[in-house]
Amino acid sequence: MTTKLPALLAVIACAVGAASAPASAAPAAAGATMPGAALYHAFCAQCHDKAIYKAPARSFLNLMAPDAIYGALAGGLMRQQAAALTDKQKRWIADYLGDASLARAAQAAPPPTCVTRGGSPAARSQPGVYSWGVDLGNSHSIPGDVARLPLGEIGRLKLKWAFAYPGAQRARSQPTIAMGTLFVGSQNGTVYALDAASGCVRWTFRASAEVRTPIVLSRTDLPELRARAPLVFFGDIIGRAYALDSKSGKLLWMTRVDEHPSATITAAPAYYKGQVYIPVSSLEEAATIAGYECCTFRGSVVALDAFTGAQLWKRYTIDQTPAPVGVTSAGTRVFAPSGAAVWSSPTIDRKRRVLYIGTGDNYSQPADDRSDAVLALDLHTGAIRWIHQMVAADAWNVGCILDNGECPTKPGPDFDIGAGTTLVKGRGGRDLLVAGLKSGDVIALDVDHPAKPVWSIRLGRGGIQGGVQFGLAHDRNNVYVPISDMAQTHERGTVTEPPHPGLYAVDALTGKLRWSAPAHDRCVGRADCDPGIAASISVIPGAVFAGHMDGRVRAYDALSGRVLWTYDTTRSVKTVSGEIAHGGSIGGGGPVVVGGMVYVNSGYNLYWHMPGNLLLAFSVDGK
């Protein structure tokens, strides 16, 4: 088990695309003799090791910063459970459980605070990018008047400022930039509002646990929102959704969106007309150590009132509660149907009053028709309008890698739809919904006649880390497809074709390949380095911006695929706090272009990717 643990942790990623694991497996192994260990077992394990509903699984506690755990015990949600403990004992438990790399946060130089709170009025009135997908249809297409970066000047982009997340080893939350402010989450649970021009801190908010989701802002689409600052929405890895005031960072509400102990939120919420839609995923797929009764989680989307956090509806991807269906060869009970997690951001179709989501695999056998599927839900009730399953019989869990008897007897390929689907307005009112799968397939459905795909194309060999992993883009003309095709995903002999990492453009209406830009291997043997693109991408008029797993961010000519600009984010740079820091692999969220500047997060210590903790901001000539 010990030798296999890193592999297990690494795999969690792809599986849930989202949920994560500690940087190393050390806490559990080395920590057994720590003074907090016995206390944990005496005071906490009965809930956190036992899949008690609502209690986050221990694997989540291992992802938290020790000071956040201490805070929960000393004066937060767990103060009653910890009432019998001394202050020292609470600290011991926090040190034993938490991610030690985050403890270093306390020693890092603090980032500078802005002298003026609000920034310049000119910057405040500039248009921005308010959500992960840029628009309701998740096009990832940034209009020219928002990007304000002429094609001819892209080659002159230089680093303007860099921001190191204190104590972090990954930077995965795609930044959102509006009103001259950049909003971003981080590994120790701190959400930052930074001055977009200089990187100084306007405010911070501390969530309970890591914030991997992009930050999403409300629009002025209701009268009551015209007079006030936009609301800020995000989720944390222990399944809580939050709303803050964008001006002050003050908490407006916090809601736990699912009772399952493994529930997590890793994809961007979607906002529309006073409602916020939260995609719910889980880490249960990776909880499948020998003897685990797999599996009881089902994915869902939860609609919340944007002003109060009250639940309006919750739609499970799977209708029935998972029930016992048999036993494994070792006699452990199996529950089904399970899984079909939602770790992609919902797409909103205003015209049809529908919300589209992509789902992941089933965790246990028998599989059902809800895994690796696109679901169209009624915006106002959550009722399912239609389902289109793209890969059938995909029941898989991490037990398949561990070979521990938890794996379904006929395992599927783990070909989730983890990238948010994207809505393409076609001719004559015929709208296409384009989905990218971890299989490397890209499939377009006519949303009014979804039974048969309009087009499909296979661009990658696929695998448990994609294929398409986190997000596509389109500019109505082309759909741009990033392919990861990681070389070594430690699968058991299921991947035999050569990889095709890189960026591809296909005709949005026909799916015909327009150009390919294969990513060349510049890793020269560097550990955990891969040439492909897993993170989501963005398009501005004339150019596509993509962050690669080798740490390079590139701009591609949208017409030809020619590389216009490259920057290696793994090199060390001086940050706004005066520290030297570096990025790593780019994963999860991708580059965003606003007001003539390009912003990208770099560093992804999970699942055989290069660690790093940098937010980089580029401008023409660095001015």
Residues of this chain that interact with ligand HEC (CB under 6 A) are: 43-44, 46-48, 52, 54-56, 61, 64, 69, 72-73, 76-78, 81-82, 93, 208-209, 238, 256
Residue 231 to residues 216, 347, 470, 562: CA-CA distances in angstroms?
8, 19, 25, 39
Phi, psi of 12 (to 5 degrees): -50, -40
Rounded to a whole number of angstroms, the minimum distance from the CB of residue 81 to ligand HEC is 4
Confirm if 472 and 139 have CB atoms less than 8 A apart: no
Burial class for 603, CB neighbours closer than 10 Å (0-12, 13-18, 19+): buried
Q: Which is nearer to ligand HEC, 62 or 101 (CB)?
A: 62
Report the alpha-carbon distance of residue 175 to residue 61 in Å, rounded.
Answer: 25
Q: Which is nearer to ligand HEC, 46 or 488 (CB)?
A: 46
Confirm if 397 and 15 have CB atoms less than 8 A apart: yes
Rounded to a whole number of angstroms, the minimum distance from the CB of residue 123 to ligand HEC is 34
Rounded to a whole number of angstroms, the minimum distance from the CB of residue 300 to ligand HEC is 17
Count of C-beta atoms within a 10 Å radius of residue 109:
12
Rounded to a whole number of angstroms, the minimum distance from the CB of residue 592 to ligand HEC is 29
Helix, strand, or coil here: 190?
strand
Q: Which is nearer to ligand HEC, 77 or 580 (CB)?
A: 77
Specify whether the backbone of 376 is left (phi greater than 0), alpha (psi in -120 to 50) or beta. beta
Report the alpha-carbon distance of residue 454 to residue 440 in Å, rounded.
Answer: 17
Q: Which is nearer to ligand HEC, 281 or 347 (CB)?
A: 281
Rounded to a whole number of angstroms, the minimum distance from the CB of residue 362 to ligand HEC is 26
Report the alpha-carbon distance of residue 305 to residue 528 in Å, rounded.
Answer: 42
Q: Which is nearer to ligand HEC, 68 or 519 (CB)?
A: 68
Can you read off the two tokens belonging to residue 268? 């961007």
Q: Which is nearer to ligand HEC, 261 or 482 (CB)?
A: 261
Q: Which is nearer to ligand HEC, 76 or 324 (CB)?
A: 76
Q: Which is nearer to ligand HEC, 63 or 306 (CB)?
A: 63
Report the alpha-carbon distance of residue 408 to residue 402 in Å, rounded.
Answer: 12
Q: Which is nearer to ligand HEC, 18 or 209 (CB)?
A: 209
Report the alpha-carbon distance of residue 548 to residue 532 in Å, rounded.
Answer: 6
Q: Which is nearer to ligand HEC, 46 or 220 (CB)?
A: 46
Confirm if 347 and 329 have CB atoms less than 8 A apart: no
Residue 602 to residues 106, 488, 567, 568, 616: CA-CA distances in angstroms?
21, 21, 11, 10, 8
Confirm if 27 and 96 have CB atoms less than 8 A apart: yes
- Three-state SS sequence of 373-420: EEEEEECCCCCEEEEEECCCCCECCCHHHHCCCCCCCCCCCCCCCCCE
Q: Which is nearer to ligand HEC, 94 or 177 (CB)?
A: 94
Rounded to a whole number of angstroms, the minimum distance from the CB of residue 415 to ligand HEC is 32
Burial class for 121, CB neighbours closer than 10 Å (0-12, 13-18, 19+): exposed
Q: Which is nearer to ligand HEC, 208 or 344 (CB)?
A: 208
Q: Give the DSSP letter string of 249-265.
A: --EEEEEE---STTEE-
Phi, psi of 179 (to 5 degrees): 60, 30
